[in-house]
Amino acid sequence: MADHTVTSEVVFRIRRFDPTTDADPHWEDYRVPWPPGMTVLEGLKQIKESLSPTLAWRSSCRMGVCGSCGMFINGRPRLACNTQVSELESSLITVAPLPNFNIIRDLVPDLIPMFKAHAETQPYIIRDDTNEQQQPTGEYWQSAHQLEQYLQFSYCIKCGCCMAACPTYATDPVYAGPMPLAQAHRYNSDSRDGGFAARQQVLSGERGPWRCHFAGECSRVCPKGVDPARAIQLMKRQLVFDYLKLGKQKCPASIAKVPDGLKRREGIPETPPRTI
Amino acid sequence: MGVVKGPLFSVGEFLVFAAFAFHAVNGIRLALVELGFAIGQPIEPVYPYRTSVDEQRPLAIGVMILAAILAIVGGIGFLK
Amino acid sequence: MRDQRLWTWHIGAGAVILVLLGLHMTVMHLDAIVRIFNPAPGEPVDWANVVARSKSVFFLVTYVLLLGTALFHGFYGLRNILFELNPGAPAKKAMNGLFLVAGLVLFAIGTWAAWAGFTVARSA
């Protein structure tokens, strides 16, 4: 185990708010030791263990894949587990809950509006062949090129950092936000999906991408490189071309069935017997 | 017609022309970008991420330079 | 629904205005470089040049087209800016009606003025 030599201390300035006792949020400072490689999340845990047991936040995987620990750290929405104290280049670390959301308590934002908007865009494969989806007989055919069209947007971990950074979402209660719109495009551009018309009900109106003016902050803060701004602009193109009837009619991917009458090639051994 | 010959009106007219120059050139950029044309293809994200905002930055800088040039060229007529 | 269609027309109108307003700006302000549209010597706003432009069917058509597209583009842009300030539903309805009526009225007045200029210039 490496020797974590404590070389210095750092001050965490945290936005505290307990709705049962406080009228408004307020800042509180905590001085913690700063071992090499400490993340902001580790700092919060240190504070909770030794300085303020009532500090509340969300976290889970501590490795940047679950999306729970989105916070406003030194002026930018980041994942606390993914943010090294050293990369902030300051001995004062300000930690606040994600902006553009109501605060439940301390660093815990109310993300229900984001998830509601997400559910409205029907973020799942929509196809006519429900029998096939319940009892699959084969896989849906998809080329590597078709995969590339949506793969980047599928890396979204729903952390809410993009929603916190979006200036339109900050001021406009009607706008759905970068995450729901980018995820709607993730499914619209998936060649296995046939739900473009169903999603259009939501996307062609006020809840759609029309109020996005490409500030691009969502893409700049995304911890997974999802680039929701790119998804939204590509979605605008898809919607405009659909209105002008310029787009190609997209049929959902067919099933890649194994052809009948296939014979095993000579020399390939049979499957070994099951051991379970 | 005396109003349109005054110096204040000339300044105002130049501002309108400059605003048109910027709005038009930036508008071309926005029409391209917001239809998803100059922002790069979806790619496998590899850190450090090059986002769509970075991809269109040369275009944005070009727009500002072109708008400045147009405004100056048009402004020559107002100096007369 | 409406936003998808209006936004598409907004971009299309922008592209049309680029050409037509560019023409207008070239005629009026870049005449130091391009003199083709101002046959008479002097400023583009001098009487002889104004009459020359008013007589031409080309300018009549392009000015009316520019007026229509600019009114749509401008009022839709203004409507967008005001709607993004989150007014209530009655205010939104009122603004929709106001911009539509104002746009149509101004288009009617402008077309009438262009036509009047055309007939006067032709008869002079």
Chain pair B-C, CB pairs under 8 angstroms:
28
* A83 and A135 together in one domain: no
Locate A44 and state its tokens: 């919060």
Among candidates C11, C21, C31 on the partner chain, residue whose Cβ is nearest the Cβ of B77: C31
User: Domain total for chain A?
Assistant: 2
Q: Which amino acid is at A266?
A: E
* Cβ within 8 Å, pair B39-A237: no
Round to whole Å and give the CA distance between A34 and A37: 8
Range of the domain at A184: 112-253
By C-alpha distance, the chain A residue nearest B55 is A230
* A98 and A148 together in one domain: no
Reported as a single tens digit per residue, the pLDDT across A90-121 is 999 999 999 999 999 999 999 999 999 999 99
Among candidates A174, A204, A211 on the partner chain, residue whose Cβ is nearest the Cβ of C4: A204
pTM (two decimals): 0.89
Provide the mean pLDDT of chain A: 92
Does the bond joining B48 to the residue before it have cis omega, within 30 degrees of 0?
Answer: yes
Residue A265, in any domain of the structure: no
Residues C35-50 have a mean pLDDT of 76
C11, C29, C78, C81: which to substitute to probe chain B, counting the most B Cβ within 10 Å? C29
Tell me the Cα Rg of chain A. 24
Among candidates B31, B35, B74 on the partner chain, residue whose Cβ is nearest the Cβ of C29: B74
What does each C-alpha distance from A274 to A43, A143, A267, C95 come to in angstroms?
50, 32, 21, 72
Residue A276, in any domain of the structure: no
Q: Which amino acid is at A21?
A: T
Q: At CB < 8 Å, which residues of chain B contact C? A: 4, 17, 20, 24, 27-28, 31, 34-35, 73-74, 76-78
**Is beta strand A8-16 parallel, antiparallel or unpaired with respect to A92-96?**
parallel
**DSSP character for A39?**
B
Residue A79 forms contact with B (CB below 8 Å): no
Residue A273, in any domain of the structure: no
Which positions in chain A touch C80 (Cβ < 8 Å)?
211
Question: What residues contact residue A250 under an 8 Å CB cut-off, 6+ apart?
Answer: A191, A194, A196
Closest CA to C10 of C74, C68, C61: C74
Reported as a single tens digit per residue, the pLDDT across B20-75 is 889 999 999 999 999 999 999 999 999 999 999 999 999 999 999 999 998 998 78
* A201 and A159 together in one domain: yes
ipTM: 0.89
Task: Write down the domain spans for chain C.
Answer: 2-123
CATH assignment at residue A182: 1.10.1060.10
C104: left (phi over 0), alpha (psi -120 to 50) or beta: alpha
* A249 and A135 together in one domain: yes
* Contact criterion met (CB below 8 Å) for B76 and B10: no
Reported as a single tens digit per residue, the pLDDT across A25-75 is 999 999 999 998 999 999 999 999 999 999 999 999 999 999 999 999 999
pLDDT at residue C119 above 70? yes
H or E element in which residue A215 lies:
none
Q: Evaluate the CA torsion angle A166, A171, A175, A180 in order and state its sign.
A: positive
C8, C9, C83: which to substitute to probe chain A, counting the most A Cβ within 10 Å? C8
Q: Is A79 exposed, middle or buried (0-12, 13-18, 19+ CB in 10 A)?
A: buried
Among candidates C17, C18, C29 on the partner chain, residue whose Cβ is nearest the Cβ of B77: C29
Domain C2-123 falls under CATH 1.20.1300.10: yes
* A163 and A104 together in one domain: no
* A225 and A245 together in one domain: yes
Closest CA to A217 of A227, A208, A209: A227
* Contact criterion met (CB below 8 Å) for A228 and A222: yes
* A102 and A120 together in one domain: no
* A73 and A126 together in one domain: no
